[in-house]
């Protein structure tokens, strides 16, 4: 499958890129600085450009079968309100619809949308707004991002992740739509494998599962 990945230089994005190549997909990535990509693979196409430029986004989408959007703000970001992910995502969605590239897998956070109700009251009303403001502004932007995807004509899946940890993969991911059994973490490798699996699995078509180990 020909897959375009947006956000491939990030913590999650690099793992997703490696997993996509491992599973034999032809991958095109859009990056601001190609020198940041040290991976050498015949199935990897690197395009330099800005995701906020609709013409650049349109060019990378030519002849693609699917898109993975795993954009971030660089770790925890700077703690200031941001609209980067939601604005970039809208450009991607608009260009996908124009070019009839239908399949979109987008990363989000547990705490976005109805998954906020999966969290303990103490976390949502005290810890998040007062002690994890950096995460709150990210979730706020994901709350702007998700409706754009859900209201689109695309065949989308939104994967909401808890804390992603760089530890040995456990070989299993527990997805939930209602929050039942949701844990606090998911390993980087397990998350990446689940994301790539969605390219060919319609189980969560037009749904937003929250995942954890």
Phi and psi based region of residue 113 (left: phi greater than 0; alpha: psi -120 to 50; beta: remaining) = left
Q: Which backbone phi and psi does 140 adopt, to 5 degrees?
A: -60, -40
Phi and psi based region of residue 172 (left: phi greater than 0; alpha: psi -120 to 50; beta: remaining) = beta
Give 10-residue mean pLDDT values along the chain (213 residues). 96 97 98 90 96 97 97 80 96 98 98 87 68 84 98 98 96 96 96 98 98 97
Range of the domain at 47: 2-212
* Residues near 73 by beta carbon (within 8 Å), at least 6 away in sequence: 82, 84, 85, 138
The pLDDT of residue 81: 86
Question: How far is the C-alpha of 74 from the C-alpha of 153, rounded, in Å?
Answer: 29
Total tally of structural domains belonging to the chain: 1
The pLDDT of residue 26: 98
Question: How far is the C-alpha of 3 from the C-alpha of 141, rounded, in Å?
Answer: 25
Question: How far is the C-alpha of 111 from the C-alpha of 43, rounded, in Å?
Answer: 35
Length, in residues, of the chain: 213
The pLDDT of residue 130: 57
Whole-structure pTM value: 0.94
The pLDDT of residue 121: 65
Please, what is the Cα angle at 165 between 140 and 178, to 5 degrees?
55
Question: How far is the C-alpha of 103 from the C-alpha of 114, rounded, in Å?
Answer: 23
The pLDDT of residue 126: 61
DSSP, res 62: T
The pLDDT of residue 115: 92
The pLDDT of residue 3: 98
The pLDDT of residue 119: 78
């Amino acid at each position: 499958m020909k897959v375009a990945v947006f956000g491939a230089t990030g913590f999650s994005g690099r793992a997703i890129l490696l997993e996509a190549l491992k599973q034999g997909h032809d991958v095109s990535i859009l990056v601001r600085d190609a020198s940041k990509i040290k991976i050498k693979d015949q199935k990897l196409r690197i395009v330099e450009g800005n995701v906020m430029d609709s013409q650049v986004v349109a060019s990378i989408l030519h002849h693609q079968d699917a898109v993975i959007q795993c954009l971030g703000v660089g770790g925890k970001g700077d703690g200031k309100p941001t609209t980067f992910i939601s604005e970039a995502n809208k450009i991607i969605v608009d260009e996908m619809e124009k070019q009839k590239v239908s399949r979109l897998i987008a990363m989000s956070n547990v705490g976005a949308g109805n998954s906020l109700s999966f969290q303990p009251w103490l976390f949502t009303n005290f810890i998040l707004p007062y002690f994890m403001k950096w995460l709150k502004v990210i979730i706020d932007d994901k709350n702007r991002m998700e409706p754009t995807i859900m209201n689109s004509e695309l065949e989308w899946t939104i994967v909401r992740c808890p804390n992603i940890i760089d530890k040995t993969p456990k070989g299993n991911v527990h997805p939930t739509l209602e929050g039942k059994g949701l844990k606090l973490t998911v390993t980087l490798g397990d998350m990446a494998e689940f994301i790539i699996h969605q390219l060919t699995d319609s189980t969560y078509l037009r749904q937003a599962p929250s995942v954890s180990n």
